[in-house]
Structure 1
Amino acid sequence: MALEIERKFLIDINKLEELQNGYEIKQGYIQTKDETVVRVRIKGNGAFVTIKGGNVGATRLEYEYSVPVEDANEMLEKFCTKPIIHKTRYLILHKKHTWEIDVFHEENEGLIVAEVELESEDETVELPEWILKEVTEDARYYNSNLLENPYSQWG
């Protein structure tokens, strides 16, 4: 069984050194009838289809498969709910963990979040000084929810 255990945080971008070596991510979601999420993502030169179950705290089932970039582009165009999520991801090593900093663009411009993947929900993670607030269980910050309720409309 494949599990994703991930915590998500808002950050103070001004406390970070200049972000470098980011890569673009373009992703969309294929509509489902339950809490299952089907994501199509192009990340750098690779493409993936990911199936995720509903969250239970910071944990959920996750299965990810590589697909040809051409197929992913077609799926984004023909199957995914619009708008497509565009963001730049930066990786930062802090203590024992790699943090993913996502800087969103277009409809979600201004949103910046940090995510850290864990081996277990009770794993201790030392938070960097640039962490402001945990939003792991706030569904507004789920990428799939940013389609219907983009950050630019939160007012």
Structure 2
Amino acid sequence: MDSKWWPQPAYRTMGSMAMNEDEDDFEFERRFFCRDLPRELLGESRPTLIVQSYYVHEDNFALRVRLQGQVDPVVPMTARTDALHTLLEEGDHFDAASMTAKGPSVGGTRYEAERAIDPGIALELILRGGIPIVKNRYGVWLDEDWWNLDVFGDGNTPLVVAEVERTGPVTDLTIPDFCATEITDDPRFSNDGLADHPFGDWATDFDRELKANGPRFLTNFDGNRES
């Protein structure tokens, strides 16, 4: 990959402590705030239930443990959907787990090193520490891109976030109509940010902000295409 795409965060200048610059250790994504879940596009698809906990979440650095699996019936995401209660109730349905280290996001690129771990160990870790969040993740193909649509519960209700990830910078993207505004570079909407400061605490302020300033979509990705 052309080196012009690599971000230049401060941790790259830490000498012998600099992180491995393996291309696989970076995620390239763009994220969008949505007013509602576009159910008409999802058909009969069922979501993946995700419970994840953050053990480090400062200055956009994060250490995360995640559990995920499909649950029948679907767990509704409301303000009463407690993350730890959901973890205990649905523990037998989680069939995948991971531990992930993340660096700050720079222009839609973020250091992310992930390793699969035993789901039973992940469950016990989440029960013992960190700040958990819970969400349902839907997925749909739109044009050439796979979109994840996250519906959050607990303190982050009624947040819905759409994101698209590629193996390289997300350029020339067709942004669907259900995306109200772009939040790629807004640390408030990172999952670790939401663990620290749940959306429900500032949703009203954000709504006022969006009405006052209008939507914004980043233009430093070789343009966007009309949906």
TM-score by length of 2: 0.63
Number of equivalences: 153
Partner Cα distance (1:34, 1:133) in 2: 23
1:36 to 34, 37, 61: 61
1:143 to 181, 191, 196: 191
Deviation at residue 124 of structure 1 after TM alignment: 1.5
| CA distances 1:124-144 after superposition (whole Å, capped 9, x unpaired) | 211122121101011110110
Q: Decide which structure has the larger Cα Rg and report it.
A: 2
> Residue 67 and residue 116 in structure 1: after superposition, are their counterparts in 2 closer, same or farther (change >3 A)?
same
Among all aligned residue pairs of Structure 1 and Structure 2, give the percentage whose two residues are the same amino acid. Answer: 33
Partner Cα distance (1:129, 1:10) in 2: 11
Residue 27 of structure 1 aligns with which residue?
52
Which amino acid counterpart does residue 133 of structure 1 have in structure 2? T
Unmatched runs of 5 consecutive residues or more in structure 1: none
1:107 aligned counterpart, secondary structure: helix
**Greater Cα offset, 113-122 or 131-140:** 113-122
**Greater Cα offset, 24-33 or 45-54:** 24-33
Q: Which is bigger in relative contact order (C-alpha 8 A, separation at least 6)?
A: 1
Which amino acid counterpart does residue 108 of structure 1 have in structure 2? N
2:127 aligned counterpart, secondary structure: helix
Which amino acid counterpart does residue 68 of structure 2 have in structure 1? K
Superposed, 1:56-75 pairs within 5 Å as 56-75=106-125
Residue 55 of structure 1 aligns with which residue?
105
Instruction: State whether structure 2 residue 61 is matched by structure 1 residue 11.
Output: no
Partner Cα distance (1:31, 1:9) in 2: 24
Residue 120 of structure 1 aligns with which residue?
168
Deviation at residue 122 of structure 1 after TM alignment: 5.4
Partner Cα distance (2:110, 2:174) in 1: 22
Deviation at residue 35 of structure 1 after TM alignment: 4.0
Deviation at residue 89 of structure 1 after TM alignment: 0.1
| CA distances 1:77-108 after superposition (whole Å, capped 9, x unpaired) | 2231x3x1000000010000000000000111
2:40 aligned counterpart, secondary structure: coil
Q: Contact 1:15–1:129 at 8 Å: present in 2 too? A: no
User: Counting helix residues as a fraction of each chain, which structure ranks higher?
Assistant: 2
Residue 134 of structure 2 aligns with which residue?
86
TM-score by length of 1: 0.90
> Residue 74 and residue 122 in structure 1: after superposition, are their counterparts in 2 closer, same or farther (change >3 A)?
closer
RMSD after superposition: 1.8
